[in-house]
Structure 1
Amino acid sequence: MALTYILFQVVVALLAIVSYYLHRKLTYFKRRGIPYDTPHPIRGNMDGYNKTKTVHQIYQDYYNKYRDSKAPFVGFYLFQKPAAFIIDLELAKQILIKNFSNFSDKGIYYNEKDDPMSAHLFNLDGPQWRLLRNKLSPTFTSGKMKFMYPTVLSVAEEFMAVMHEKVLENSVLDVRDLVARFTVDVIGTCAFGIQCNSLRDEKAEFLYFGRRALLDSRHGRLMTGFMRSYPNLCRRLGFQRCAVHVQKFYHRIVEETVSYREKENIKRNDFMDMLIALKNQKEVTLENGEVVKGLTMEEIIAQAFVFFIAGFDTSSSTLGFALYELAKNQEIQDKVRAEVQEVLQKHDNKFTYECIQDFKYLDQVINETLRHYTIVPNVDRVAAKRFVVPGNPKFVIEAGQSVIIPSIAIHHDPSIYPEPNEFRPERFSPEEIANRPSVAWLPFGEGPRSCIGIRFGQMQARTGLALLIKNFRFSTCSQTADPLNFDPHSTILLGVKGGIHLKVEAV
């Protein structure tokens, strides 16, 4: 009896401690007098996440509610984690650029020990991120992109051949599916040196696992929220993010590719070549005493994985949404086609790396697509030290506190982009860009931690879109959804239910 009573007291004490801890967490902003919405004890302010609402919709609604509050940031509970939800663009600039040294970390969950594939450049923090960024930056220069361009163009030309075959079979196509196959083949070839054959094989391995990597996670919504809320505890408990079958596939593919290339001494001037070179580089001691070693096999797997996932879905989504808008706006499509033809005439009717730099209006179309359909809804940061918002001493971002900069909401703020739901490529003319803060457009982030692969993404998207518009006319039909139906089960990226069906005619 005595033992039962003692155990009962222990349980009651533990429940009291947990309840007090949660109460302190969930009243974090109330105690500081910062505007916020009362959170759900488990979901926080993420009500509807992965069920009825996309993350984009959650952030958009929250921003719209507080946009006119005159507060530089408001409180937001990312599940049980209090985060500063940024409203003011000047504060966003302070965080991303001016005070980057204090906000260089993202605070996204990864587990280098138990799930090394999650410890890639996008997720890493601290000295590990800086060191890896410095190692990888030379692989994404304009010169390296020029080396890769013939490979991208070769896949794009095969894409055009497949498109012509498809149009002869059926004039209505799911362009979202087709551009996904194109980007899978580009990334598979450039990152792994493998002919994926996704364009002609709907059951291609790379296409399947590319989609599974975005849809399948190790755990459900509840555990995902727990990892976001308590990352250090979850690391100690050995929690993993990546699904087992996804891990096994990318480990096998990378290890086989590296082994084969090193054994046969194969050079392809692609991303994998650059990673292998980094793996085999000699240990170097820098002036500050820091020792720089080559990449480990686990680091190569992680970087190849994120390069594939980031380049595959973001680029294919952008191309799909761009074609959708061009189908709805024929005058814009005609203007893009005229520019493509004009630029090609200047380059002897050949697609070259220099040629794609001249697609100014087409680039505006892509930029407007990235604004209107913001693929990644926000930029994450964590404060290293206590930060008092200049001119607002009441608003303090404490050390260790998460920061959410809602890109999707900024991109649809009518005070920044008038009539934000209208598709207007002219918003990205040099004159209009000059009249906006640099942080008003954030599809690739901003500052020293902006997307390292932006050049590759632009090269792939420009090449694909230019060739598609040169060869085909896209228009809406009875199967075209208007508006598009976004998938709430897409955990982070902007997914579409039912694809994007357009009428396609050869020009």
Structure 2
Amino acid sequence: MALTEGLFLIVGALSAIYLWFQRSHSYWQRKGIPYIQPTPIIGNTSPVFTQKNSFGLHISEVYNDPKMQDEAVVGIYVLNKPALVIREPELIKSVMIKDFQRFSNRYARCDPHGDALGNNNLFFVRNPQWKEIRSKLTPVFTSGKLKQMYPLMQEIADDLEAHLAQQKTGQDASNIVEIKDTCSRFSTDSIATIAFGVRANSLTNPDAEFRTEGRKVLEGTVSRSKDFFTVFFLPKLVSLLRIKFFTKEYSNFIRKTIGHVISERERTGTMRNDLIDVLVGLRKEAAQQPNKPHLANIPDFLVAQAGVFFTAGFETSSSTMAFGLLELAKQPELQDRLRREINNAFLEEGSGKLSYEKINSLEYLSMVVDEVLRLYPVLPFLDREYQGIKGQPDLSLKPHYDFQLENGTPVFIPIYGLQRDPKYWPNPNVFDPERFSPENRKTIEAMAYQPFGLGPHNCIGSRIGLLQTKLGLVHILKNHYVRCCSQTPKDITFDPKTFVLQLKSGMFLEIVNDRFYDDRAAQAL
């Protein structure tokens, strides 16, 4: 009898849960919003659970669903949570710019109790704290400060050239390399020196700590996939599941490193116009006002900014460099054009280095980088959470739908889908830098191109990322060209276990030593 009663209770409980999910999964139908049919219990997250796709890229699949091509938004369910994928450019503009005050927070969040490094950094922190932190860090990223950092970045570019020269010697010598790893080592060393004043030596030491610990943060493993999915799409569970955005090893490493660098900077009084200077300044402010609340007094606040800046800085630049070299290897005529521009610039400068002004004036280089970012946005989606404004009506989706957003509704912008939509980009899957020629730029739909986001919440480090990418490409292609080899991936398959855009397999290219610049310079003398 007891067994029968127990089974009855279990069946009853499961039935109640199922009915609750079914009720949740009828939300968009009841509201008159077009939606993708959810799977019972798991909603529209099936690709994640089956490891067929990352949820970020799945959002672009929703965007591209043939049944939704004429819709402004698409309703989906993250498990049982109703969410919106935004398709219409004017609504995207509303989310990112026009009604920013209603969408100032990401939907993603980290555990405020068990993950101080994740919760307090600029990427995840919520308003109004976000606004205060952003205003404090903005001075690091001005064009003036970037120009002051540029010589430090050039030193790492010289290290990159030396690293490539050591791979093989002799005219037309070649070497097959995993190009993403090479680019990551360059960007790791660059970010370490310009942000922290530290020589990471990733290019000279295969086991350099900055590189080995940094790569673990975005590593595509099942465990990390669970962490990323929870942070971005099930944020209410981060505390329950004890999710941490940064790995334990990386957290300990960055605490130790930044703690030491800040202490040394305070002891010596050295100024380098970098991120550490800003963090030291914040700590001084807090010390001068001991009885007032201050950001610097929040545990791990200073380290959190350094941690996310380092991670975002090396990944964005290295991915863009690597994907760019892959596309240039596939189209040698485009690579030849870029190499001519680069080497002509070196000849014009005549010093063996390109000035800050010169590298930013290279038109075709900018076109190439912008097209790489269109095809391969490092973060393939953006997330925001709707919050109403007290005393004002909720935001309406009229004239598209008779519906007002409700507090806490997640909205997703499918960056990857927008940037490959034939409506905005003819032959969208073809790598064509001419899309970004001065004449063609005028015709681009602004909301359909935002690899760094748009509006007040755009990427604060985009200028540094672009400069690093350009500098890395220049110093690789100055004396080398790249070409496909037997190990080069023939099909682009992205890793479903990470939230950023990464290839599932290695990105191998053949790098050929070609002293094009030296030969041209000798002929000119």
TM-score, normalised by the number of residues in structure 1: 0.91
Tell me the equivalent position of 2:153.
152
After TM superposition, give the deviation of residue 203 of structure 1 in Å: 1.4
Separation (CA, whole Å) in 1 of partners of 2:32 and 2:131: 36
Aligned to 2:135: 134
- 2:276 corresponds, among 267, 272, 279, to 272
Deviates more, 1:53-62 or 1:174-183: 53-62
Separation in 1 of the partners of 2:307 and 2:264?
Answer: 18
Once the two structures are TM-superposed, the CA of residue 339 in structure 1 deviates from its matched residue by 1.7
Q: Does 1:254 align with 2:253?
A: no
Aligned to 2:75: 75
Contact kept, 8 Å, 2:84 with 2:411, in 1: the verdict is yes
CA spacing shift, 1:302–1:282, aligned 2, 3 Å: closer
Which piece of structure 1 moves more, 346-355 or 83-92?
Answer: 346-355
| Preserved contact between residue 387 and residue 408 of structure 2 (Cα < 8 Å) | yes
Residue 103 (structure 1) aligns with:
103
The CA deviation at 1:224 is: 5.5
Task: Name 2:415's counterpart in structure 1.
Answer: 407
For residues 171 and 492 of structure 1, do their structure 2 counterparts lie closer, same or farther at Cα, with a shift above 3 Å needed? closer
Name the counterpart of 2:492. 484
Amino acid in structure 2 at the alignment position of 1:174: E
**Map 1:112-127 → 2, pairs under 5 A:** 112-119=112-119, 120-127=121-128
Q: Does 1:351 align with 2:354?
A: yes
How far apart, in 2, do the equivalents of 1:295 and 1:351 lie? 42
**1:421 & 1:358 partners in 2: Cα distance?**
27
Specify every segment of 5 or more residues in structure 2 that has no aligned partner in the other structure, as ranges. 389-393, 516-525
Pair 1:195-2:203 in alignment: no
Answer yes or no: is the 8 Å Cα contact 1:189–1:195 preserved in 2.
yes
Taking a change above 3 Å as real, the CA distance of residues 297 and 147 of structure 1, as seen in their structure-2 partners, is farther
Distance 1:382 1:66 in 2: 26
Partner of 1:418: 426
Where does residue 364 of structure 2 map in the other structure? 361
- Percent of paired sites with the same residue: 34
Partner secondary structure for residue 332 of structure 1: helix
Could you give the per-residue CA deviations for residues 451-491 of structure 1, whole angstroms, max 9, x where no partner exists?
A: 00011101111111112122211122222222233222234
Distance 2:340 2:297 in 1: 46
SS at match of 1:397: coil
Distance 2:167 2:505 in 1: 22
> Which residue is 2:328 aligned to?
326
Alpha-carbon distance in structure 2 between the residues aligned to 1:121 and 1:501: 35
Greater alpha carbon shift after TM alignment, 299-308 vs 9-18: 9-18
1:239 positional shift: 4.5
Residue of structure 1 equivalent to 2:522: none
Deviation of the 1:233 alpha carbon: 5.3
Q: Does the 8 A contact of 1:216 with 1:243 survive in 2?
A: no
Distance 2:138 2:293 in 1: 18
What's the offset of the Cα at 1:284?
Answer: 9.8
Matched with 1:89 is: 89
CA distance in 1, matches of 2:459, 2:88: 22
**Number of corresponding residues:** 502
Q: Report how far residue 275 of structure 1 moved.
A: 1.9
* CA displacement at 1:390 relative to structure 2: 3.5
Distance 1:464 1:107, change over 3 A: same
Q: Which residue of 2 aligns with 1:24?
A: 23
The secondary structure found in structure 1 opposite 2:510 is: strand
Match of 2:431, SS state, is: coil
The C-alpha deviation readout for 1:225-248, integer Å capped at 9, x for no partner, is 555555345447754333322222
State the distance in 1 between where 2:222 and 2:481 align. 42
Mapped to 2, the partners of 1:373 and 1:227 lie a distance apart of 22
Please name the residue that 2:59 is paired with. 59
2:72 and 2:405 map into 1 onto residues whose CA distance is 11
Kept in 2: contact 1:380–1:404 (CA 8 A): yes
Against the structure 1 CA distance between its residues 197 and 171, is the aligned structure 2 distance closer, same or farther, given a 3 Å change threshold?
Answer: same
SS at match of 1:464: helix
From the superposition, tell whether residues 333 and 227 of structure 1 become closer, same or farther in structure 2 (CA, over 3 Å). closer
Aligned in 2, Cα 1:301/1:9: closer, same or farther, shift over 3 Å? Answer: farther
Q: Secondary structure at the match of 1:504?
A: strand
Q: Residue 293 of structure 1: CA displacement?
A: 5.2
Q: Distance in 2 between matches of 1:133 and 1:179?
A: 28
Q: Does 1:377 align with 2:380?
A: yes
What's the offset of the Cα at 1:126?
1.5
Q: CA offset at residue 324 of structure 1? A: 0.9
For residues 216 and 423 of structure 1, what CA distance do their matches in structure 2 show?
A: 26
The alpha carbon displacement at 1:70 in A equals 1.9
| 1:442–1:78 CA distance, 2 compared to 1 (3 A) | farther
Q: How big is the shift at 1:353? A: 1.3
Do the aligned partners of 2:367 and 2:436 also contact (CA within 8 Å) in 1? yes
Read off the aligned partner of 2:87 and give its amino acid letter.
I
Q: Is the 8 A contact 2:383 2:411 kept in 1?
A: yes
Q: Deviations over 1:364-411 (max 9, x none)?
A: 100100111122111111111232124124244322100010000001
Report Cα offsets for 1:60-119 as digits up to 9, x if no partner.
322211475422101122344321101111211111111111111111121233211102
Match of 1:185 in 2: 189
Cα distance, 1:294 vs. partner?
4.4
Residue 206 to residue 456, structure 1, CA distance change in 2 (3 Å): same
Cα distance in 2 for residues equivalent to 1:270 and 1:222: 34
| Distance in 1, Cα, partners of 2:8 & 2:245 | 36
| Structure 1 residues 43 and 272, CA gap change in structure 2 (3 angstroms) | farther
Rate the CA distance shift 1:473–1:222 in 2: closer, same or farther, 3 A. Answer: closer
Structure 1 gap segments, 5+ residues each = none
- The CA distance in 1 between the partners of 2:220 and 2:444, in whole Å, is 38
Which letter does structure 2 place at the counterpart of 1:362?
L
Whether the 8 Å CA contact 2:33–2:401 is kept in 1: the answer is no
CA RMSD of aligned residues (A): 2.8
Q: 2:481 aligns with which of 451, 461, 473?
A: 473
Amino acid at match of 1:381: R
1:301 CA drift (Å): 0.9
TM-score between both structures, scaled by the size of structure 2? 0.88
1:305 to 298, 304, 307: 307
Separation (CA, whole Å) in 2 of partners of 1:292 and 1:308: 23
Q: 1:268 to 1:255 in 2, by over 3 A?
A: same
> C-alpha deviations, 1:184-223, integer Å up to 9, x for none?
1111222222211111221111111111111278956567
